[in-house]
């Protein structure tokens, strides 16, 4: 057994998702999540404002990783390459546990209030990516538009990944999704009906 | 004076926005909105589930208009042209009252729960545009991606319009925003720093 034990926040996040899948999101209480994670409800509220938040425990880290990758991209990288680097960082961070992402995605998709929360998190991610692009010299108006497009690629790419073959790498799926969007937006000669 | 009088739903929507701007969203009650619109609270709840919804009274009509325009586009129109037609329909529908859109945008931006609701409405619009593109023969995976991009152009375009010069046409701003995104996504030779 590993000496390292995941901290309370991570245990709560896993316990929450397990219970939401097993017995339903509505029927799960904070007390049950805390009990399964081996902590008190008071500890729960030290980490999470409500039971929705346990599904978004990694979102700050995800945002930080993506923005850091955006900033690390070479000075002469084009915006699309910088956004690609941010997506690659996201893929490496969350791509190792497809089963977890698939379960999480299923719970969120089934609940209106969870979808609302997810959209807000993505909106904050978009703001952070916008700032990151502006700091790379992209004009603010274009940066906003491009960050939004990056967030679209992230959301759709993760959906494709969890719905696709189990051995696909998230980093690859995100890269292909970005290319797909570039093709759709940028190819003036493409006919309306695509081969799929 | 026109013989036509706006119906209760529209009066409630206008009364709600007026009160949210004048005295604040939190401090406004359903009873106050109903009173200003000259109806009872019971009538309010016949049209709107809660006080958030009065800000989204036109969203079903907007979605219907955009999807209809998408379907009406010529058979040989490329997806980007069909999405452009949908955006044009949106611009014609809501582009005549910039002051209203600007006030509405300011109220929504300032309130977390309203931003959540707006993102959900846009998410539903994206679903409808996806279906519309699929019915035009675009493969579902590309349709989803493209519809998301169209929703991004819509959101960012409206923001640019309400923040921009008062005499700008929304249809023009949306068209320019779509072109801007196409340029950003599709121009492999563009350097990182844009002229803006």
Q: What pLDDT does B187 receive?
A: 55
CB contact under 8 A, A196 and B120: no
pLDDT at B66 over 70: yes
Of how many residues is chain B composed? Answer: 196
pLDDT category at A178 given cuts 50, 70, 90 is very high
CB contact under 8 A, B142 and A194: yes
CB contact under 8 A, A192 and B76: yes
In chain A, the percentage of residues whose pLDDT exceeds 70 is 92
pLDDT, tens digit, for every residue of A48-70?
A: 999 999 999 989 999 999 999 99
3-state secondary structure of B70: helix
ipTM of the complex: 0.81
Terminal C-alpha separation, chain A? 47
Mean pLDDT of the A83-99 span: 94
Q: What pLDDT does A88 receive?
A: 97
Q: Which of A56, A186, A189, A191 to probe the B interface (max B CBs under 10 A)?
A: A186
Chain A residues in contact with B185 (beta carbon < 8 A): 80, 146, 149, 181-182, 185-186
Sign of CA dihedral A179, A183, A184, A186: positive
In chain B, the residue whose alpha carbon lies closest to the alpha carbon of A112 is: B120
Mean pLDDT of the B61-78 span: 94
CB contact under 8 A, B152 and A145: yes
CB contact under 8 A, A184 and B137: no
Q: Are A13 and A44 in contact (CB under 8 A)?
A: no
In chain A, the residue whose alpha carbon lies closest to the alpha carbon of B196 is: A139
Mean pLDDT of the B109-118 span: 91
Rounded-to-integer distance, Cα B73 and Cα B136, Å = 9
Q: What pLDDT does A185 receive?
A: 84
In chain B, the residue whose alpha carbon lies closest to the alpha carbon of A82 is: B192
Mean pLDDT of the B45-66 span: 94
Smallest Cα distance from B7 to chain A, Å: 30
Instruction: Count residue pairs from A and B with Cβ separation < 8 A.
Output: 135
Smallest Cα distance from A160 to chain B, Å: 8
pLDDT category at A187 given cuts 50, 70, 90 is low
The DSSP letter of residue A25 is S
Rounded-to-integer distance, Cα A33 and Cα A16, Å = 5
Q: What pLDDT does A179 receive?
A: 92
pLDDT at B120 over 50: yes
CB contact under 8 A, A146 and B184: yes
CA-wise closest residue to B141 among B154, B127, B153, B130: B130
| B32 Cβ contact list (under 8 Å, min separation 6) | B19
Rg (CA), chain B: 19
């Amino acid at each position: 057994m590993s000496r390292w034990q995941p901290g309370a926040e991570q245990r709560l996040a896993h316990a929450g998702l397990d219970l939401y899948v097993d017995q339903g999101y509505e029927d799960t209480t904070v007390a049950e999540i805390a009990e399964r994670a081996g902590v008190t409800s008071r500890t729960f509220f030290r980490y999470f404002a409500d039971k929705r938040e346990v599904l978004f425990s990694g979102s700050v880290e995800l945002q930080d990783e993506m923005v850091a990758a955006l900033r690390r991209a070479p000075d002469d990288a084009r915006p699309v390459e910088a956004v690609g680097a941010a997506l690659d960082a996201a893929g490496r961070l969350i791509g190792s546990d497809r089963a977890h992402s698939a379960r999480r995605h299923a719970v969120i998709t089934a609940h209106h209030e969870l979808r609302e929360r997810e959209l807000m998190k993505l909106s904050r991610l978009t703001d952070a990516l916008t700032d990151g692009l502006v700091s790379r010299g992209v004009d603010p108006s274009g940066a906003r538009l491009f960050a939004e497009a990056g967030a679209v690629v992230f959301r759709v790419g993760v959906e494709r990944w969890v719905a696709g073959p189990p051995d696909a790498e998230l980093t690859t799926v995100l890269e292909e999704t970005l290319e797909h969007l570039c093709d759709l937006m940028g190819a003036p000669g493409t006919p309306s009906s695509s081969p799929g």
